[in-house]
Copies of this chain bind each other. A is one copy, B any other.
Amino acid sequence: MVQIPNTPTSADVARLAGVSRATVSYVLNNTSAVRISEPTRRRVHEAARELGYVPHAAARSLRAGHSRMVLMPAPAIPAGPLYSGFLNELQQALGRLDYTVVQYGTDGSRGDEAARAWAELRPVAVLVPGAELGPQGVQVLKRSGARAVVTLGPVRVDGAHALLTDHDAVGHCAGAHLHAVGRRRIGVVVPRDAGLEFYSRPRLAGVREALRGTDAVATELPLAYTEASAARLAAQWRESGLDAVFAYNDEYAMLLMRALQDEGLRVPEDVAVIGADDLMLGRLLRPRLSTVHIDLPSGRDLAELVDRAVRDPGGRPEVHIVLGASVVRREST
């Protein structure tokens, strides 16, 4: 019985194959600069397989001085289907470009403090959704070797590439639509649930923007994602005099629409309701839910941006406005 080392290193492989560590490295990375005889190659591969050798990424990247790890913070709030899908597409695309995507589990630290934790892994690129990263954090990351820092969110951060998710446009779309169909007293749902402010604030602002200079007016409507909260809101609806509502997204819209209907209000006759995200569920509601369809950037495009930025770290930060918004009118408005 062969003595199997606890966790085999390239030295173990070399010993078993009867060659030097360098040769092992050459064979396993099939370095083109050096020619190794076929029998030797076979012996090395055989030995590696027999020992179950797996190279040590840390040692490799320490030696190389860089890695191909793209780090993203894992979403701290359960991601919706829209964003999950986007994330997957992105991972696939980066994988095809030979990057390794790693989502760093949020350990409670926030913003620039978290950036330090990320920097310890020396990722070649960092992709930060949301708005939890300041210019300080970007500097920390770049100092520690990140060749690209890309933010995906409502604000531009100094030193980083920015994919501006223009949530104002979402609100603007909704507001303009509701105004166009003759509504004048427009409620805007603002989720009480933490972590959504970065999206709900701009959406509210966008509605206000769309209504500026008209005789319509927007009213902020705090709402938690519970039936009780929706019922409370619906109970006060008649006295509020609102004739329309932009419900933040389709899920909140479903929640609120149900509460309004239970209260005896007719949709859209008494209240027009519009959501956002264009989820399947909106098509299944009755009346069918009008919504703001959101176009996220394609994962492939974003992967290419990352790759470009990594190849040319000196380049000026790119700023793209992503997230196209367009109204899908169904029956609820």
Contact = CB atoms under 8 A, between A and B. Distances in A.
Nearest to A109: B95
Interface in A78-122: 78-79, 81, 84-85, 87-88, 91-92, 94-96, 100-108, 116-117, 119-122
B100 A88 contact: no
A223 interface: no
A59 interface: yes
A58 B95 contact: no
A81 B225 CA distance: 13
Interface string A41-58: 000000000001011111
Contact of A255 (B100, B116, B255, B280): B280
Given A58-B122, A94-B105, A78 B74 contact: no
Contacts of A117: 100
Contacts of A227: 280, 283-284
Contacts of A67: 58
Given A74-B91, A76-B88, A105-B103, A121 B57 contact: yes
A155 interface: no
Interface stretch (A136-144, A209-217, A322-330): A136-144
Interface residues of A, number: 62
Contacts of A84: 75, 78-79, 84
Given A84-B78, A91-B105, A106-B95, A54 B281 contact: no
B95 A107 contact: yes
Contacts of A121: 57-58
A121 to B, nearest CB: 5
A87 B94 CA distance: 23
B120 A55 contact: yes
Interface string A276-307: 00001101101000000000000000000000
Contacts of A156: none
A120 B88 contact: no
A106 B225 CA distance: 32
Given A95-B108, A120-B56, A122-B58, A7 B144 contact: yes
Which of A58, A78, A105, A106 neighbours the largest number of chain B CB atoms within 10 Å of its CB?
Answer: A105
A119 B140 CA distance: 28
A283 B254 CA distance: 11
Given A6-B145, A54-B144, A91-B106, 10 more contacts: A52-B139, A52-B140, A57-B58, A58-B58, A58-B121, A78-B84, A79-B84, A92-B106, A100-B105, A254-B284
15 contacts: A52-B144, A54-B116, A58-B62, A58-B121, A62-B62, A74-B91, A76-B88, A78-B81, A91-B106, A95-B106, A95-B108, A96-B108, A100-B105, A100-B107, A101-B107
Interface of A: 4, 6-8, 52, 54-59, 61-62, 67, 70, 74-79, 81, 84-85, 87-88, 91-92, 94-96, 100-108, 116-117, 119-122, 139-140, 143-145, 225, 227, 251, 254-255, 258, 280-281, 283-284, 286
Question: Which 4 pairs from chain A and chain B are nearest by CB?
Answer: A101-B105, A78-B84, A95-B107, A58-B58
